[in-house]
Chains A and B, each alone.
Chain A
Amino acid sequence: MASSEAQYESDDGMDAFMDKFKTQRYKNAFSENNWEEEFDKIPMFMKTAPEEIDPKTHPELACIQAIIHDEDRPPEEQAKSLKDEGNAFFKEKDYQKAILCYTAGLKKNCRDQEINTVLLTNRAAAHFHLGNMRSALNDAAAARKIKPDHLKAVIRGAQCFIELRTFAEAIQWCDEALKAHPTDKKLLELRAAADKHKRAAERDARKAKAKERKVHSEKEALLAAIKDRGVKLLESVKPRQQGSDSEEEDEDSSAAISQLSLDGISSKEVTGAQVFLDEQGSLHWPVLFLYPEHQQSDFISAFCENTCFIDHLAVMFGEVAPWDTDRKYHPQNLLLYFEDEQMETLYQINSDASLLKVLQHKRFFVKAGSPSFIILVKGSPFCTQFLIGKKIHGL
């Protein structure tokens, strides 16, 4: 045979070649200085493969690669080599590269569906480990389409469904596969896990709904309490109509009430407080005291509607406020006003009055969910100046 003869020939050549060294030294040997580097260049002894294989620097590797990916080989073989290469990357947890190999393998469009199923399932696994659940699921589904009871594909798909929180599908896939593999532990486990997750998710949905319902009914109760008292809320967004008679006012306030959520939340964002109904059925309002003379303000986060202004003032000005340099502010010598913005009128308030009584005043409108009051010092020059040119409604 020709080939075996050629082998003899080359063996003869080898003998002659080897015999030469009995008389002369081998010149191409590795030197003591760079033998380690040289060894690393030989595929068999390489510790790591280079990222890119350049035929110039690594001719041997390029040859091997050419053999593996020989375009002349049947697509089945090529796909299988690519699968093996992908598996090698997979083992080293280089999932990106593994995916490239499996994809290249699939592109060979080989007729062996067994290999295609494995390529798809393996690519699904690589995607899964990268957290690409959608891609993983697509591959698992494609593999399952080719081979409906392919256990690995079903298991991977069910895992993806669980990760994607579509538990019903996970259960369905498991049930389908359990027909062919009724006692498979992994399938049974996955089914149980999916079922448990599904029921927990359903509970969470019910709980969220119940909470929403509770918040809603609390808000309804709050709005009803405000409306029952005849307290009027002013919409901050919508401009109020001019010249309101009592009936119109009513309409406006109900519109404003429906708007409370907006106002309430906005006040909450700024100050962290919102009007609330306590267990005894009293309302507590976030209230702002403004001191224009000093451009200062006080914020009372929960002013019970049944307490009087003087109670709060007594506490606040029991001690001198840090900004009150002239020590003018005493609970007894303060003038309280609220402003009717629409009519541009200031209404004076008796400090012995309860908050509720003031809020029920026919010209009082709660703005931005939080009533505010102007406080001046009786007889002070600023007070006189401040009130000049304003419409005042005294006590």
Chain B
Amino acid sequence: MLSDSEVAELLSFLTPATRPDVKGQATGYFLGLSGNRDGCHFLRSKPDLLAALFALTSDPSIAVAKDCYHILINLSADETLHQVLVADVNVLPVLFKNLVDPEYQLSDQICTILSNLSRHQKTCKTVFKVLQEELGVAQLVEIFCTEGYNKMAKLHYLGPLLSNLTQLPEARSRMMDKDRCVLQRLLAFTQYQTSAVRRGGVIGTLHNCCFDHVHHEWLLSDAVDILPFLLLPLAGPEELTEEENDGLPVDLQYLPEDKKREDDPDIRKMLLETLLLLTATKTGRQTLKDKNVYPIMREFHNWEKDIHVRAACEKLVQVLIGDEPEQGMENLMEVEIPEDMEKKLTEADVREEQELEREEEQMREEEENKKNGDQACVGVSAHGAVE
């Protein structure tokens, strides 16, 4: 690693007044450094260096500014740097200010940094605090939902940011402000075909919001009407009977022959888990039964190949077709589970998971055999680290 004198020398290059090519060399070097774990850890102990790099995000040279943002993206992917970035360098206020600017060219980079920084609860709290001071959840949603807000940025990564923020109860209560139209504006994006990141972020947000069972009745009421937006990505082109159609929420009725289901199995699973959360209360269960969710799940189950997603679907169907729990246990989120029972349930969960893994393994083998030596191409996608 660099010696202190070398750091000091490099630091002297990281000022706006430095010649652009020299500055570019310096930021390029740090970008390389931030690409690996050790480099990140080294930079963690150099707050003044980080502050200088952060200051250069407003450099007139877009290339330099971009380098600096990418360094921040890499650094923010490592949780151990969050405190330094948020407390010592105080990146948040400036990031939010730039984000609000519809002309700002590097807003997508900001979105990624914010989404990284909000991943873990501790820093997430700080992100939320500064967000409230700067613009507030409602305006953030507004920016996210305004098509073409920023001509130079897509802002898809605001989705994961919202999803991360709603791990906090205080962010959820802002999101579910009954006097405003906030959460409602996100709903249409469960069908947003252009970006799985945006879609996943929105569905993650809805998933988080459904943890608050006190809001279930409101979420399912006409004021929000969340149900069709969770079901639509799971519904396919299969023709249902007229009777089944007429019992469904209007958005689900008479879907066209070319209706496609959500591509991403993780998102499908999250949708099913969100629906399952909504069955925690008696009114929730009743609504899902009344709105004819069952035929949608029946067709979905026939179609679904991924065994983990199928298992999630089966759990939901169990609740939909099962008997109502006895009195006093109607709210499944409030039922107290005795310790020994909980242990058994956890063990059962582990067993189930193992069984699914085995099944999956088996299926994979069968697939392999079917392919008969066809070359398999496996794509790996990683978020975060950029070099």
Interface size class of B (residues with CB under 8 A): 20 to 34
In the complex, chain A residues whose CB is within 8 Å of the CB of B255: 206
Q: How many angstroms between the C-alpha atoms of A18 and B280 in the bound complex?
A: 90
Q: A210 and B254 in contact (CB under 8 A), knowing A183-B180, A192-B223?
A: yes
- Helix, strand, loop or mixed for chain B's interface? loop
Complexed CA–CA distance, A178 and B141 (Å)? 13
Complex interface bits, B227-260 against A, C-beta within 8 A gives 1, otherwise 0:
0100000000001000001000011011111000
Range for the number of chain A residues in contact with chain B: 10 to 19
Contact among A175, A195, A196, A206 with B253 in the assembled complex (CB-CB below 8 Å): A206
A209 contacts B250, CB within 8 Å? no
Q: Given the interface contacts A182-B138, A183-B180, A188-B181, does A196 sit within 8 Å of B222 by beta carbon?
A: yes
Chain B residues with CB under 8 Å of A209's CB are 254, 256
* A179-195 Cβ-contact flags toward B at 8 Å (1 or 0): 10011000010011001
- Whether B4 sits at the interface, judged by CB under 8 Å, is no
B92, chain A: closest CB distance, angstroms:
24
Collect the chain B residues with CB atoms within 8 Å of residue A327's CB. Answer: none
B181: which A residues are within 8 A, CB to CB?
A: 175, 178, 182, 188, 191
- Choose among B142, B185, B251 the residue that contacts A202 (Cβ–Cβ < 8 A): B251
Cβ-defined contact, B253 with A207, below 8 A: yes
Please measure, in the bound complex, the distance between the C-alpha atom of A210 and the C-alpha atom of B255, giving whole angstroms.
Answer: 8
Chain A residues contacting B142 (CB-CB under 8 Å) are: 179
Chain A: minimal CB distance from B352 (Å): 38
List residues of chain A with CB within 8 A of the CB of B251. 199, 202-203
A-chain residues with CB within 8 Å of residue B179 when the two chains form the complex: 183, 188
Interface membership of chain B positions 252-286, coded 1 if the CB is closer than 8 angstroms to chain A and 0 otherwise? 01111100000000000000000000000000000
Most B CB contacts (10 A, CB to CB) among A178, A182, A191, A213 go to: A182
A207 to B240, CA, bound (A): 12
CB distance from B102 to the nearest CB of A (A): 13
Whether the Cβ atoms of A192 and B222 lie closer than 8 Å is yes
Complex: A264 Cα to B255 Cα, angstroms? 30
**Shortest beta-carbon distance, A382 to chain B, in Å?**
53
Asked if A203 and B257 sit within 8 Å, CB to CB, the answer is no
A200 located at the interface, meaning its Cβ lies under 8 Å from any Cβ of chain B in the complex: yes
26 contacts between A and B (CB under 8 A): A175-B181, A175-B185, A178-B180, A178-B181, A179-B142, A182-B138, A182-B180, A182-B181, A183-B179, A183-B180, A188-B179, A188-B181, A195-B184, A199-B228, A199-B251, A202-B251, A203-B250, A203-B251, A203-B253, A203-B254, A207-B245, A207-B253, A209-B256, A210-B239, A210-B254, A210-B256
What 6 A-B pairs come out closest when comparing CB atoms? A206-B254, A203-B250, A207-B254, A210-B254, A183-B179, A203-B253
- Give B contacts to A, CB under 8 Å: 138, 142, 179-181, 184-185, 222-223, 225, 228, 239, 245, 250-251, 253-257
